[in-house]
Amino acid sequence: MRVAESELRALIAKKLERAGLTPEHADIVADVLAYADARGIHSHGAMRTEYYVERIVKGGMNTKPDFRLERTGPSSGIFHGDNASGHVAASAAMREAIAMAGESGIAVVGVRKMAHSGALAYFTEQAASAGFIAISMCQSDPMAVPFGGADVYYGTNPIAFAAPGANDEMISFDMATTVQAWGNILDAQSRNGEIPDDWAVDEKGSPTTDPNAVTALVPVGGPKGYGLAMMVDVLAGILLGLPFGKHVSSMYRSMHSGRDLGQLHIVIDPGVFTDPKEFGRNISRTRRELNDITPAPGFERVLAPGQDKEDIRARYEVDGIDLADSVYDYLVSDEVNRDTYEEDAPAG
């Protein structure tokens, strides 16, 4: 199914409003989800709408949060997310971090107690669009085996980075610390497709190409991804006094309760280290020089990190976003909550 980004945004917002979000919050969540789909990140796009709806309807997402920034120093603070939509809390916290970095040159803002926030690049690019460098990282529920282990402990624990270039350019990347995010498993399921055999393992710990047989993900780069997952868990969990590691709440259990997740934004004003215009010119120069590198066999050209998402969006602006039929059918239907996701719901 092909759909325009504006139509997709409106469909998502309407469904979330019917579930109980305020129009303002529904628009923010819809913008983040449409942002993801428009860049081919379908794992964090509209396919998540039905899950959010179910959690909202069951009371596991606060629709009337009392947001509060607690300043803990001249360049630091804790944004209390009150178990609201993670997209809304993370975006509001990033605005606070940008303002703080504008005052002091750097800001570190932790988001305490929030729901799932989707594609982290949305928030780091929020800062880059304002002329700041940003790093963001967040917790995820246990779904990955540690290097050398057979049982899950950490989540996908993603990290995102963005920096502003000249003329509205930027460099940006967003990565899970596992080979793939769990959402890519869900996307493969929704499309009845297979996955590469290095993404995940089945209940026996063996590599699988069947997305329906997946029980755990594997860290990217073995011990390196394992170390990054640990770092994210410390900075976005333990540092904020939140549940960590295997104690992080499940996405699909106890959907009547808040998830108490953590996220950390680090925002830097390039001007406290160098001339910001020169910084932007050099970021753009980096993009051009990477593009000019001779491509290896099998590749058409070398892209800067995140540039492939820009190319996808340019195509989708012409052809429409490639959306799974099952996702579109739900969005245009009269159904709201279908009790699809909760794993520990009582039978009957």
Q: What is the Cα–Cα distance from 11 to 30, expressed in whole angstroms? A: 8
DSSP secondary structure, 228-282, as one string:
HHHHHHHHHTGGGT---GGGSPPSSS-TTS---EEEEEEEE-GGGTS-HHHHHHH
DSSP secondary structure, 132-188, as one string:
-EEEEEE---S-BPPTT-SS--B----EEEEEE-STT-EEEEEE-SBSS-HHHHHHH
Under 8 Å between Cβ of 176 and 228: no
User: Does the annotation mark 116 as catalytic?
Assistant: yes
> What one-character DSSP code corresponds to residue 212?
G
Name the pairing type of β-strands 321-322 and 2-3.
antiparallel
Q: What is the Cα–Cα distance from 277 to 272, expressed in whole angstroms? A: 12
| Tokens encoding 204 | 């026996």
Under 8 Å between Cβ of 77 and 45: no
Q: What is the Cα–Cα distance from 296 to 128, expressed in whole angstroms? A: 30
Q: Which of 87, 116, 256, 265 is catalytic?
A: 116
Amino acid residing at 95 = R
Residues designated as active site:
116
